[in-house]
Amino acid sequence: MKTSQFTDGKSKKIAMFQGSFDPFTRGHESIVRRALPLFDEVVIAVVSNIAKKPFMSLDNRMSLVKAVFADEPRIRVISSQGLTVDVAREVGATCLLRGVRMIQDFENEMHMAEINRRLGGIETVLLYTLPEFSHISSTIVRELYSYGQDVSDYLPVNAPKDLLGK
């Protein structure tokens, strides 16, 4: 596994967790918090995809994620565009971090992991979603919110709810 360097010359393991996070859910938060014991740093790369019409603005998505992890200095939040392997290289990531909720996710992630390994020589670490979060997806949260439903149970406890839909 490739490593970055601490200022004292020791190796630093950096995972990059990339996604649209539109919005960032309790499932996403769980994956990141569970990854922290495995890595020295987790970079959360919030995708800016001009081809998609996002529910939340990029600034609001980034603000929400930063607020959730305000107490954790080992988490860095960036915006990203372009190929995942290129962004990973720019931030010094030693691997990609992905969450898997169901078998369909696993199949998709397996294919993407192989492409990313071939393109950039970077490995992917999959963490399975905890059962209590496996039913949560950003798509479901957006849909419930659009019908005026309370989505608080699906968002991180300390997520600023006033950022949704803007």
pLDDT tens per residue, range 24-33: 999 999 999 9
Annotation says 98 is catalytic = no
Domains of the chain, by residue range, sit at 4-163
- Please write down the HEC assignment for all residues of the chain: CCCEECCCCCEECEEEEEECCCCCCHHHHHHHHHHHHHCCEEEEEEECCCCCCCCCCHHHHHHHHHHHCCCCCCEEEEEECCCHHHHHHHHCCCEEEEEECCHHHHHHHHHHHHHHHHHHCCEEEEEECCHHHCCCCHHHHHHHHHCCCCCHHHCCCCCCHHHCCC
52 is catalytic: yes
Q: Please pick, among 11, 52, 79, 111, the residue that the annotation labels catalytic.
A: 52
pLDDT in tens, 60-71: 999 999 999 999
Please report the pLDDT score of residue 54 as a whole number: 86
State the catalytic residue, choosing from 28, 61, 80, 98.
28
- Domain 4-163: CATH superfamily is HUPs (3.40.50.620)
Known catalytic residue: 101?
A: yes
Q: How confident is the model at residue 37 (pLDDT cuts 50, 70, 90)?
A: very high
Which residue in the list 26, 61, 98, 101 is annotated as catalytic?
101
